[in-house]
Structure 1
Amino acid sequence: MSIENELISKFGASVDKPEVISTLEHCMKIYDLSVDEIYIKWEQFSYHNRDKYAANSLTDQVLHDFKEYIQQQMERRANASITSTQSTISSLKKPKMLIPNTNSPSIFGLGIPNTPTLKKRRLEARSPLEQSKLSPLVGDNTSISNTSPLAATPNSGTPANLKNATEPDKCLVTLNVDNVNKAEGIDFDNESKVIISPFYDAKKYKFRTMRQSLLDAADVLDEQIDIFTEVIQKHHNLKASDIGDPTFQQQSEVYTVGRIVADSVSAEGSLNVDSLAIETSRSTGIGRRIRLNFEKVQDLSVFPGQIIGLRGKNANGEYFVVEEILKVPYLNFPVSDAETLQNSQITLNDQAMKVVVTAGPYTAANNLDFSNLADFVERINSSIKPHVLVMFGPFLDITHPLISTGNIPEFPSLKQQPKTLDEIFIKVITPILRRINPKIQVIVLPSTKEVSSKHAAYPQDSLDRKYLGLPKNFKCFTNPSTFQLNEIFFGCSNNDIYKDLKEVTKGGNVFQRNRFDRVSEHILEQRRYYPVFPGGIRTRKIEDKNGKPIFEHISGADLDLPYLGLTEFVGGIIPDVILIPSELTHFARVVQNVIMINPGSFIRPNGGRGTYVEMSIEAPDMENEKMTKVEDVYLHNLWKRSRIDVLTA
């Protein structure tokens, strides 16, 4: 496929103009961008300028501003690279890059770093002089107070005032600003308390990771297709005999259900409409695959791993011509009876509930300085005062440059330096978190990159609260997890679906919707927090002993396939609000009457302030028009009675 066709496939028919194509190709050539990369930058540009330009607008002025936007991004990246290079040159010795153990096989044929070995490796206590000789990321520590318990020796390449360049608690985005007032927060002199109820079986997460077999994985993937087959069959009033094998050549139309996959396991580069196939279940097509032809479909948005229902026929035995994509029904919304809603009003004294959400990392990429987190905790107690604080990991990221290379700096305030990575959490992070007012309830969810987690795969067991020394007002939940705050259902997942889901799109109408909305609809339709398969993988290019380039696995979705059932929505309902942190731009959106939130990273990689989310939720009032009564129960309608503010951390 030519670059011009790829651009039209990604951007839609609106770019099918010589001047527009020429401008985009010129940008790709100057800045060395692929079609996918320039499209992602266009999505970012469109989101930031959504109030300035019409949707899918590609006028001369818009293209001019888009080019300037890319140029500014490149300049910032170049400045950051220069700063990092100066820091490296100023060091006395370059650390040796440690290569993870890649002898451990995975179901994808990829090596997995031997995390437990790195985690348990004892760290030798070093003097500041010795440390400065070992690490290029550690500089002069004269700017750090010797009495500070929060900061490790910082990087000299980062300006000291960078993290304070942005005013904290500055509102960036607000949802429902005109309909809901901002909540005042918890009254520490009052006994009001939010009731937190886990809505999952914690025992099911107590499995041992890295013990999956191909047979178990195949059974789970096959079962997903069979479950959706029943759902689609019931929704569209189809008979069991109507579901056929798309790989079988025949002249009549059939209905089929399967998984979207690439048409070749060795396919390289980005997928497109012409490189997709459908994988059948063992009961329908013995697990065989066949290429898909979407010429007769006007609008399309699919992705690898999606379970999809199709109507079409395979006339020549080479590909399945799709006539129609069958709609998959959404799950039901949660409801509550009058008594439950009255109890929710009582627990909060008819006041609005305030929920704050943060997501790691909590330090910059060049230091282990937790002073911003400590400052945030002080504001939590004094001004923000939420009823509930939801904190996503990682608190200590296994891929952090200082941790992955073993160049752990000293913590000046500690008399005895940590000897393991777990001790860093216990001695440095836990004291900060323990300062949170005990009347504020805190929910902690791990990350697959979390150093202190026993599970390095998704789905993931919770952190050990007692081992980490966290107080009783902390609750450690699994990843993903569903829980209730009073009557409201929260769905949480700490796996970056918004970055990992690679859409294959067709048709101009698809681009009338924001990409975040499209991905959110896929999540709701697929009934799973992470429906992509195979999961996203992040690698970096290094050289082996012979100087041959190889790709090292850094992190990714790291799916534990036999337990993917734990990533599905529980209880047959869609949560009122879904929280999924992503490295992409923060957002708060209403999709199919569900609030979808990405709080963004708490700290930017360069040390600048990131973002967090503050939710103000009105108490349920059964007499209010915002509540909808259905027979004897009420829809929660959280999207009508909630205000979401995205603020600087």
Structure 2
Amino acid sequence: MEMIQDPEEIIVKFGNEANQPEIISGLQDLAKLHAISIEDLYIKWEQFACQKPHVLTRVTAKSLDPFKRFLQEEIEKRANSSVGNVSNNINHLSGTKRPKMLKGINNNSSLFGFNISKTPISGKKRKLGAFNDAHNSDGSIKLEFHVDDVNSTPKSKSEMNTISIKSESSVGIPLTNTIYSSDKTGKILDSLNPENMDISEGFTLQDDDTIDTHVRIQLLNDPEKYKFRTMRQKLIECSDVLDEQIELFTKFAKEHLNIPDTEFGDPTIQSQADVYAIGRIVPDSPQYDGFLNTESLAFETSRLNGIGRRIRLNLEQVEEVSLFCGQIALLKGKNANGDYFLVDKILDIPYPDFPLSSSDELSEYSDLLNKKSSKVIVTSGPYIPENNFDLSYLTKFVEKINIDIRPHILIMAGPFIDTTNSMVMSGNLPHFDNLKIQPTTLNELFVKLISPILKKINPSIQVILTPSTRDVMSTHASYPQESFDRKALQLPKNFKCFTNPSTFQLNETYFGNSNLDIFKDMKEVTKGGKTTMSNRFDRVAEHVLQQRRYYPQFPGSIKKMTIAKPKSEDSRSADSKIYKHISGADLEVAYLGLTEFVSNISPDIIIIPSELLPFARVVKNVIMINPGKFVKPNGANGTYAQISIKSPDVKDGSLTEIPGEESLYLHNVWKRSRVDVVTN
């Protein structure tokens, strides 16, 4: 049935400039030719307009021909990309119906958000194809599959070649001739508050083999809201959510900073008067390459505050600047000439409130621990070296956990089996002599190899697992992420699988855990004295706290990698073709509300694993921890974080009482905790 295109709908979407017979007929022909609605055609027009050297703001008769070529090129690209790609998802996405509008944990709309670029972003995600189980001549097993758009880091030429590795014996024996190890395991590399308290002894067993101390775990975010279907983002839905977030942020700023409504204005309108403006920091050009400076920033408004328009920023009068792409900012200045917004002042955004507990609750938590200090261990993957499938690191660590460390809580962040591991990417995995039936899928690799090791952890230790976007077992290759399926991974009941990110409570202490590297990804624009001289980790942590979001940058990081397949005997073979893989943060824009702090409350401890050096710092009375990698790519021993938290006592003065009808206390975890970065 032929689609009938209403000329009035074209004028509504494309504006009064399109009210010309040749333009209306041209757009009608394009919509009929490509069998799309006027609304979808307008979205295509926005994508086309933003790719031009000078962004087109209106449709003209002259622009119809290049727009037609743009649509044709898109069809050809999709056709070319589909040729030769025979890949099936081994991870079945959740069938939960996607909510129309994202709501927070307390059914409040998302407060803080990001801008979505008008430049089209690739919708491709990780796809792992079907396996071909075949034995090599040397007895090793070879799992072959196709990989498209995997989160990757550059590999050396030798690592890119297809390899087959034969296991010397059972799991835990290195599969290469070179063994990387360190005799300095257990060495403390860095400590936070070592002078305030000793390392907690952890749990002890009584005569009846029961533990004498307990830590209660309570998940604060709703895991059901993370069961959405990925790769189904619609531009109009994302823009609606992000626009509402800016408007809600405006309301928040007015209430907390006591700025009258009359002093807020549209920064894109020429005026000689100073106004306050709230919007999003964006690049001044659609050709954004990930790097900005003080001359290349623009300010994007909401549809209510400025019809969604952008205005270039002039920061000459501001002495100190620390801005990044996607940041929600409150500015004061004026647009005197209509070309740029001259910023006079960048106002500080209030930090979120801290959690409070009553004296009765604190006494209950203290009694659970018998007034002893709690002990939490934090690790972050990868847990397998880059060049072999050696599980001895994890095996030895589990033994140490059970005998020497004895923590109450063990938090393990992925990736457990990394999609960017050279062996996984090439599909060449060893033959495991201790297994009667060899694994045929990557999920089975975890179940048959890693799960048996994790099961050896003392049942008295409660273990929390959080995924990474590079985990092969995860059904989500984008952020935020659904949790692992504990039963599918065949793990015992002392294991708890949380989402990424997640907010949870260990007794009175609020933890925030986000497994996406904001410390490495954030590209700041800095200017001035103490802003540029201060520690970068502190600045990034302050941005996370002020924006009330675990990953406040938008767009997310983008990584590119070129992989050359090994040449076959026939030089004309397609095996010599070079493939480019693009990956990165892979943000689900419509669900970024799930990455916000729960109820706008700042956690006492925030854990964000990073590829940078491990650290533990106090920023605005919040402990920020990067535990470091568990195993380094070359096989050297990595690090983990060890947290000792003194039991709360309202009588010793370590807690701050908040005056009111009920006795409520700040937790002051940063004062009564010790954090050690230790080699594993």
SS of the equivalent of 1:639 reads coil
In the alignment, the residues of structure 2 paired with residue 100 and residue 243 of structure 1 have an alpha-carbon distance, to the nearest angstrom, of 55
Quote the residue 1:352 is aligned against.
Answer: 373
Q: Of 230, 235, 260, which aligns to 1:214?
A: 235
1:648 is the counterpart of 2:679: yes
Indicate the residue corresponding to 1:605 in structure 2. 633
Taking structure 1 as reference, are residues 549 and 321 closer, same or farther at Cα in structure 2, changes over 3 Å only?
A: farther
Runs of 5+ in structure 2 lacking a partner? 1-83, 89-116, 145-158, 566-573
1:174 to 185, 191, 204: 191
Find the partner of 1:187 among 204, 219, 229: 204
Equivalent position amino acid for 2:172 in 1: L
Mapped pair 1:405 → 2:426: yes
TM-score (norm 1): 0.79
SS in 2 for 1:595: strand
The one-letter code of the counterpart of 2:272 is Q
- Superposed CA RMSD: 2.5
Structural mapping, 1:93-492, within 5 Å: 109-111=120-122, 115-118=126-129, 120-126=130-136, 128-129=138-139, 144=168, 146=169, 148-151=170-173, 154-156=175-177, 159-160=178-179, 162=180, 164-189=181-206, 190-268=211-289, 270-492=291-513
The answer to whether the 8 A contact 1:355-1:387 is kept is yes
> For the residues of structure 2 that align with 1:601 and 1:626, how far apart are their CA atoms?
33
Q: How many correspondences in the alignment?
A: 540
Change (3 A) 1:238 1:521: same
| 8 Å Cα contact 2:143-2:440 kept in structure 1 | no
Structure 1 residues 170 and 375: alpha-carbon distance in aligned structure 2, compared to 1, 3 A threshold = same
How far did 1:269 drift?
A: 6.2
Q: Deviations over 1:445-488 (max 9, x none)?
A: 00111110111111111000000001000000000000000111
Matches within 5 A, 1:65-104: none
Q: Give the whole-Å Cα distance in 1 for the aligned partners of 2:220 and 2:440.
A: 37
Q: CA deviation at 1:188?
A: 2.7
Retained in 1: the 8 A contact 2:656–2:668? yes
Q: Which amino acid aligns with 2:374?
A: M
Q: Deviations over 1:336-365 (max 9, x none)?
A: 001110111111111100000000000111
> What's the counterpart of residue 615 of structure 1?
643
| Secondary structure of 2:600's aligned partner | coil
Matched residue type, 1:617: I
Q: Which residue in 1 is equivalent to 2:606?
A: 578
Q: Give the Cα–Cα distance (whole angstroms) in 1 for the partners of residues 284 and 452 of structure 2.
A: 52
Residue type of the alignment partner of 1:369: D
Equivalence for 2:540: 519
- Deviation per CA, 1:138-165, whole angstroms, max 9, x where unpaired? 57758x4x2x3335x6234xx22x2x23
Cα separation, partners in 2 of 1:645 and 1:257, compared to 1, 3 Å: same
1:207 shift after superposition: 1.0
Q: Distance in 2 between matches of 1:523 and 1:207?
A: 25
Instruction: Quote how far apart the aligned CAs of 1:262 are.
Output: 0.7
Aligned to 1:634: 665
C-alpha separation in 2, matches of 1:495 and 1:178: 31
Cα displacement (A) at 1:252:
1.0
The answer to which of 180-189 and 260-269 deviates more is 260-269
2:584 to 556, 561, 575: 556
Does the 8 A contact of 1:125 with 1:419 survive in 2? no
Q: In 1, distance between residues paired with 2:426 and 2:559?
A: 17
Are 2:135 and 2:142, in contact at CA under 8 Å, matched by a contact in 1? no
- Structure 2 CA distance for partners of 1:469 and 1:406, relative to 1, 3 Å: same
3-state SS of paired residue (2:377): strand
Q: CA deviation at 1:398?
A: 1.2
Residue from 567, 587, 592 that aligns with 2:615:
587
Q: Is the CA contact 1:253–1:311 (under 8 Å) kept in the aligned structure 2? A: yes
1:192-249 Cα deviation digits (max 9, x unpaired): 2110000011111111111111111112221221122112222221222322111111
Equivalent position of 1:32 in the other structure = none
Contact 1:166 1:608 in 2 (8 A): no
Q: Secondary structure at the residue paired with 1:571?
A: helix
- Superposed displacement of residue 255, structure 1: 0.8
- Local SS of the residue matching 1:466: coil
How does the TM-score come out when normalised to structure 2? 0.76
Q: In 2, are the aligned partners of 1:273 and 1:504 still within 8 Å (CA)?
A: yes
| Alignment match, 1:541 | 562
Q: How does 1:41-60 map to 2 (within 5 A)?
A: none
Q: SS where residue 124 of structure 1 aligns?
A: strand
Q: Give, in angstroms, the shift of residue 407 of structure 1.
A: 1.7
- Cα displacement (A) at 1:543: 6.6
Distance in 2 of aligned mates of 1:532 and 1:155: 40
Q: Which amino acid aligns with 2:171?
A: P
CA shift in 2, pair 1:284/1:101, >3 Å:
farther
Residue 66 of structure 2 corresponds to: none
What CA deviation, in whole Å up to 9, does each residue of 1:569-612 have, x standing for no partner?
Answer: 00221000000000011000000000000001101011001100
Secondary structure, counterpart of 2:325 in structure 1: coil
Moved more, 446-455 or 519-528: 446-455
- Secondary structure at 1:465's aligned position in 2? coil
Match of 2:594 in 1: 566
Q: Higher helix share goes to which structure?
A: 1
Shift of 1:548: 8.6
Structure 1 gap segments, 5+ residues each: 1-97
- For the pair shown, the structure with the greater C-alpha radius of gyration is 2
- Superposition deviation, residue 107 in structure 1: 8.7
Closer, same or farther in 2 for the Cα pair 1:388/1:236, shift >3 Å? same
Bigger mean CA deviation after superposition, 432-441 or 628-637: 628-637
